[in-house]
């Protein structure tokens, strides 16, 4: 397949690029020498698509900082909604066959306490500006299929991590604090709330799911990309410490606790599995080892 990736310079992009190359796909990384281009610039997006003429598009480019979306909701909406509209319009007009639009588990937002695992038919009740922006982008993708016949596949990606993720996100942030504490011979690290439960996947498994959905997903449909298993932030911190050699205690820093926090986000991957045969290949401990190794490499 001839594939174009938006957001190829982000965290997931390089992992997806590597996987597509392994699958012998022809991959286009648009933009300048670094692979970056502004999806809110409608003219630029159209020029990129007209020149590249891809068969499929992986739309990864997005504002991805949930916490920062509270500080600048307008820019979050502009990137995630207006940017997605530009990508979909350019894809339709340049003859793209299929677009994978990456959304988020944050779309579910305020969930029912009795829901152990969220399926795709759960109500969408976002509680963050980021979550709302992803709901809007997802429905733009649905409209592009129903109204214009552009094959879109909508992904609701749950938490995922791995080498290369910014320390703005909780798992690499914890790993960085552990590595720094060990170098400084400290006995504690700080963390936010320990109670929230998240469904954490390895980014290498996530990009495999994306390509499988491009091949086998049903146009217009949403798909959870998740493991189906929940792990608390506190347990993740404890497991990171144990895998780093132990000897550290976790101290809750109230400054790191979000004012509004979804207590539990665990997905049901049944629809993804049924459509593609996907299953994760990496355990959580293997993923945490990769994040720790990356933290050590960055600090060396």
Could you give the count of Cα atoms lying within 13 Å of 296 in the half-sphere of its Cβ?
11
Q: Which two tokens stand for residue 248?
A: 């550290």
Which element (helix H / strand E) includes 102?
strand 98-104
Residue with tokens 């990309």: 225
Query: What pLDDT does residue 67 have?
Result: 85
- Asked whether the beta carbons of 277 and 228 are under 8 A apart, the reply is no
Radius of gyration of the chain, Cα coordinates, nearest whole angstrom: 19
Residue 50's pLDDT is what? 95
CA 50 to CA 115: how far, in whole Å? 45
CB-based contacts of 175: which residues, under 8 Å, 6+ apart? 240, 244, 288, 291, 292, 294, 295
Residue 263's pLDDT is 85
Distance between CA 4 and CA 46 in Å, rounded?
A: 13
Which pLDDT value is given to residue 110? 85
In the chain the domains, ranked by start, together with CATH numbers, are: 2-161+200-225 (3.40.50.720), 170-196+230-264+282-299 (3.90.25.10)
Amino acid 254: pLDDT: 85
Half-sphere exposure in the Cβ direction for 196 (13 Å, CA):
20
Q: Give this prediction's pTM.
A: 0.95
The answer to whether the CB of 80 falls within 8 A of the CB of 106 is no
User: How confident is the model over 13-70, as pLDDT tens digits?
Assistant: 999 999 999 999 999 998 765 667 899 999 999 999 999 999 999 999 999 988 899 9
Q: What whole-number distance in Å separates Cα of residue 177 and Cα of residue 196?
A: 19
Q: Which residue, chain included where needed, has tokens 């969930």? A: 111
Instruction: With a cut of 50, list the residues of the chain below it in pLDDT.
Output: none
The answer to whether the Cα torsion of 118, 100, 18, 175 is positive or negative is negative
pLDDT at 298: 87
Burial class (CB in 10 A: 0-12, 13-18, 19+), 128: buried
Which pLDDT belongs to residue 170? 94
Closest CA to 194 of 168, 164, 165, 174: 174
**pLDDT reported for residue 33:** 57
User: 131 and 172 in contact (C-beta within 8 Å)?
Assistant: no
């Amino acid at each position: 397949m001839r594939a174009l990736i938006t957001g190829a310079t982000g965290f997931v992009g390089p992992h997806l690029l590597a996987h597509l190359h392994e699958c012998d796909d022809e991959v286009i990384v648009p933009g300048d020498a670094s692979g970056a281009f502004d999806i809110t610039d409608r003219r630029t997006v159209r020029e990129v698509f007209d020149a590249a003429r891809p068969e499929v598009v992986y739309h990864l480019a997005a504002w991805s900082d949930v916490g920062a979306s509270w500080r600048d909701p307008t820019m979050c909406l502009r990137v995630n909604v207006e940017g997605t509209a530009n990508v979909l319009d350019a894809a339709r007009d340049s003859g793209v066959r299929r677009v994978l639009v990456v959304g988020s588990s944050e779309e579910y937002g305020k969930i029912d306490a009795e829901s152990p695992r969220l399926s795709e038919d759960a109500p969408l009740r976002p509680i963050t500006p980021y979550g709302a922006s992803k709901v809007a982008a997802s429905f733009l993708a649905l409209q592009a299929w129903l109204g214009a016949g552009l094959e879109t596949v909508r992904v609701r990606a749950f938490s995922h991590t791995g080498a290369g993720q910014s320390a703005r996100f909780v798992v690499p942030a914890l790993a960085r604090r552990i590595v720094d504490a060990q170098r400084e011979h400290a006995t504690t690290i700080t963390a936010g709330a320990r109670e929230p439960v998240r469904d954490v996947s390895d980014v290498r498994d996530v990009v495999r799911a994306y390509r499988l959905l491009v091949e086998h997903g049903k146009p217009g449909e949403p798909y959870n990309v998740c493991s189906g298993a929940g792990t608390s932030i506190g347990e993740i911190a404890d497991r990171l410490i144990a895998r780093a050699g132990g000897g550290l205690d976790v101290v809750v820093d109230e400054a790191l606790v979000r004012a509004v926090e979804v207590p539990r986000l665990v997905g049901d991957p049944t629809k993804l599995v049924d459509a593609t045969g996907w299953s994760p290949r990496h355990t959580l401990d293997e993923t945490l080892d990769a994040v720790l190794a990356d933290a050590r490499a960055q600090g060396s």
